[in-house]
Structure 1
Amino acid sequence: MKRHPQYTNLLLFDILDKEEGIVHFSTTRMGGVSNGPYSSFNMGNFSDDNPLNIFQNRNILARMFYMDISKFVIPHQTHGTKVLKIDEEFMNLDSASLIETLYGIDATITDIKGIFLCATTADCVPIIVYDKVSESVAAIHAGWKGTSGRITENTITEMQKQFGSNPGDMIACIGPSISAEHYEVGEEVVDLFSKKGFTISDPEVGFRNRSTSKYHLNLTEINRRELIRLGIKEDNIEVADMCTYSLENLFFSARRQTVHSGRMLTGIMMKER
């Protein structure tokens, strides 16, 4: 992952930056108007930050791409596994209906050009997907609940169903998220992943801290392996090796900041021709 050549508060994936038909981004916490623990580029609505600041931050982002914020699809995520297809009918909804439709959505897919699909995160795993053969994209929010519920599989399967996509044609990018070193979980989470069929005994996926006896999960690696299992080529997957917890000056972190944490956005759009 690298800095945007023009906007240094945005990050880009190397593998997607080579795709002429794609525009994408991942925000950092820099470059906005929010104050205090939300300083300064807070994109989320899951906090007691001033809603006007969040609205202004999102508009700052939209102007970077010479677009209107209405072209950014930002779901109200609830750590579920629902996938929503963004189509022309959705884009023509009134504001109240848009808000209602986006509630409880943790992944979006589309074959419409000229709109950004976005995932909101502050430790959870953001994943964006591009299939240039079927010309479709996806944005996924995968926390431990979504990951254990196989939201990544749900999304890829829905792309296959709706657009005739082939995982072998897909490019997938996993954005900044909390590292296993800083992500300890309770025994109920360990049990849930085991019951769901995930192999978490691999030290690259999970390990028990000898000093605290707490279990640590690598959600990024779990999702990377899910993408490979689903048929996406390993060479077509890029992982941002950046920990949201430890890189305090660059990212918000819900685990580090508790309830007083902002959110980043990771988005993808197919260019209009």
Structure 2
Amino acid sequence: MSGAAAGAAAAPGRRAEAPEERFEAERGRLRAIAQRMLGSTGEAEDAVQEAWLRLVRTGPAEIDNLPGWLTTVVSRICLDLLRARAARREEPADEALPEAAGGGPEPEREALLVESVGRALLVVLDRLGPAERVAFVLHDGFAVPFDQIAPIVGRTPVAAKKLASRARQRVRGTAALPPEPLAGHRRVVEAFLAAARGGDLADLLAVLAPDVVRRADPAALPPGRALVARGAQAVARETTVFGRRARYGAVALVDGVPGILIAPDGRLRLVLRMAVADGRVAGYEVVADPARLAALDLAVLPWPG
């Protein structure tokens, strides 16, 4: 057990903590680990509950280091779930966006998860292999050493370190622009996203170039809408329709330059590839085709400065 727990057990006059109390003391941390690994509050709660059931079956008295044991158990449960998810390939890429169907906002628990982890990070994590994701989350998110990660992912500590390093590179990506142009491009894309969320035509016109062009995959638009819009007025009007989806948007690296991910509950549905020139949006393309989405190189933008 941990030093603090051992001290509490040895201290005279203090009652030993019940297994339920010891588990509850770890629940928040275990839930956070599972949420980042699985990208789902419901699945994370199930994984933590399964860890409790395994603890009951094993018996806390048989465990020397309860926090470490629980971390290992939850991580292995998550790894199994991620592997099963990857094998099924049943992520519904063609599922309609809630806005397109007139649905409401994200459920509160999922919205809190997106807020705490970050929408873009959840999307990028979802593209990692199961072992990469587990190694990255444990080490970079919760400072678990590689000698403890290794048996969870079935690798040596050196191989586990390589998994996390490869995942880290994919999460960070590689910018295709030098720092100053990258920052300028980012500011324009962020201004566009803010204007789209607000649905204000004047704000959109301020950030769009006069000859801006918007193109879209057929799956990105309701039936009957034009796939190409030209000129600031037309594109601004089309973007106000997109605006309800913009609340699910996050700025990220798309093929090395800032673009926008539309990801309700952290699940990717659309990508806006943005072209910027002279401080305005010169054009953007709405990518919705699953094959095209899968081919895009997505990464989390670094913090400005």
TM-score normalized by structure 1? 0.22
Q: RCO greater where, 1 or 2, for CA within 8 Å and sep 6 or more?
A: 1
TM-score normalized by structure 2? 0.21
Instruction: Indicate the structure with greater helix content.
Output: 2
